[in-house]
């Protein structure tokens, strides 16, 4: 194992703002000498959640380097009052543990009650768009999210992503800077949607105002008089 290369990668990740478990993650990947691999990090930014997927490739001399990282910002899901009871119940369940058991990543030290509560809550919830959003709020970032039939639509509604590449011409964009950039893009996206809705409303109102009113015809003289 190239210790110099490992230290260089750790320094790069630290510069970006990723340091937790970086040494172990890098060693567990590079020991198999893959052509490329990804390492995932997560960060909470207020009410927002951001996940990062850092991509590494092996060069001609066998050393690894970062090529880019994909940052995905996930906005919080606003739940209607009608699902408040389910929101509390869903929040009491360790869904990451269930996902790990389901995939076979963990087989010992699990809580049977956790799965039992999950079954009861899911069985009581009705199938509706709001219920699917509630599941997404607790399953996003785990393998359980693949169970959602409308996952693509939910991601379009609550997530925004961007790749950040590493070049010699400029300093890399840090994880915190990426969050601020994506939050700004999110505001821009929401503003454009609101502007389109407002423009559509004005056009619809304009069409209704220009639509000519139907005039009732006046009866002709003598029309309606009965012949004697």
Q: Same structural domain for residues 67 and 86?
A: no
Residue 38, pLDDT score: 96
* Residue 227 confidence (pLDDT) above 70: no
The dihedrals phi and psi of 129, each to the nearest 5 degrees, come to -55, -35
Q: Same structural domain for residues 84 and 137?
A: yes
198 in a domain, yes or no?
yes
Q: Same structural domain for residues 12 and 68?
A: yes
Q: Say how many domains are in the chain.
A: 2
Q: Same structural domain for residues 85 and 70?
A: no
60 in a domain, yes or no?
yes
226 in a domain, yes or no?
no
What average pLDDT does range 169-176 have in this prediction? 90
Higher per-residue confidence, 53 vs 113: 53
Q: Same structural domain for residues 63 and 91?
A: no
145 in a domain, yes or no?
yes
Higher per-residue confidence, 43 vs 225: 43
Q: Same structural domain for residues 26 and 41?
A: yes
213 in a domain, yes or no?
no
219 in a domain, yes or no?
no
Q: Same structural domain for residues 34 and 55?
A: yes
Averaged pLDDT of the chain: 87
214 in a domain, yes or no?
no
State the residue range of the domain holding 151. 80-157
Q: Same structural domain for residues 84 and 70?
A: no
Concatenating the DSSP letter of every residue in the chain gives: --HHHHHHHHHHHHHHT--TTHHHHHHHHHTT--SEEEEEEEEEETTEEEEEEEEEEE-TTS-EEEEEEEEEEEPPPPPPGGGHHHHHHHHTS-HHHHHHHHTTS--SS--HHHHHHHHHHHHHS--SHHHHHHHHHHHTTSGGGGG-TTHHHHHHHHEEEEEEE--SSSPPPPHHHHHHHHHHHHHHHHHHHHHHHHHHHHHHHHHHHHSPPPPPPPPPTTTTPPP-
pLDDT tier at 37, thresholds 50, 70, 90? very high
Q: Same structural domain for residues 111 and 138?
A: yes
Residue 228, pLDDT score: 40
69 in a domain, yes or no?
yes
Q: Same structural domain for residues 106 and 58?
A: no
Residue 125, pLDDT score: 85
pLDDT in tens, 100-142: 888 888 777 677 888 899 999 999 887 778 889 999 999 998 9
What share of the chain in percent tops pLDDT 90?
A: 58
From 95, 122, 157, the end of a domain falls on 157
């Amino acid at each position: 194992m190239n210790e110099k290369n490992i230290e260089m990668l750790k320094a790069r990740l630290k510069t970006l703002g990723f340091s937790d478990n970086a040494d172990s993650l890098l060693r567990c990947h590079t020991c198999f000498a893959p052509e490329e691999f990804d390492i995932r990090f997560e960060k909470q930014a207020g009410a927002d959640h951001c996940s990062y997927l850092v991509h590494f490739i092996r060069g001609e001399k066998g050393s690894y380097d970062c090529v880019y990282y994909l940052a995905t910002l996930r906005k919080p899901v606003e739940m209607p009052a009608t699902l408040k009871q389910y929101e509390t119940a869903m929040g009491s369940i360790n869904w990451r543990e269930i996902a790990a058991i389901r995939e076979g990543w963990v087989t010992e030290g699990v809580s049977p009650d956790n799965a039992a509560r999950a079954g009861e809550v899911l069985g009581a919830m009705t199938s509706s768009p709001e219920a699917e959003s509630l599941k997404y709020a607790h399953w996003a970032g785990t393998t359980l999210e693949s169970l959602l039939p409308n996952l693509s639509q939910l991601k379009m509604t609550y997530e925004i992503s961007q790749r950040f590449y590493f070049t010699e011409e400029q300093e890399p964009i840090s994880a915190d800077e990426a969050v601020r950039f994506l939050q700004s893009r999110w505001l821009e996206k929401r503003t454009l949607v609101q502007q389109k809705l407002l423009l559509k409303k004005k056009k619809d109102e304009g069409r209704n105002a220009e639509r000519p009113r139907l005039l009732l015809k006046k009866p002709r003289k003598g029309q309606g008089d009965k012949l004697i």
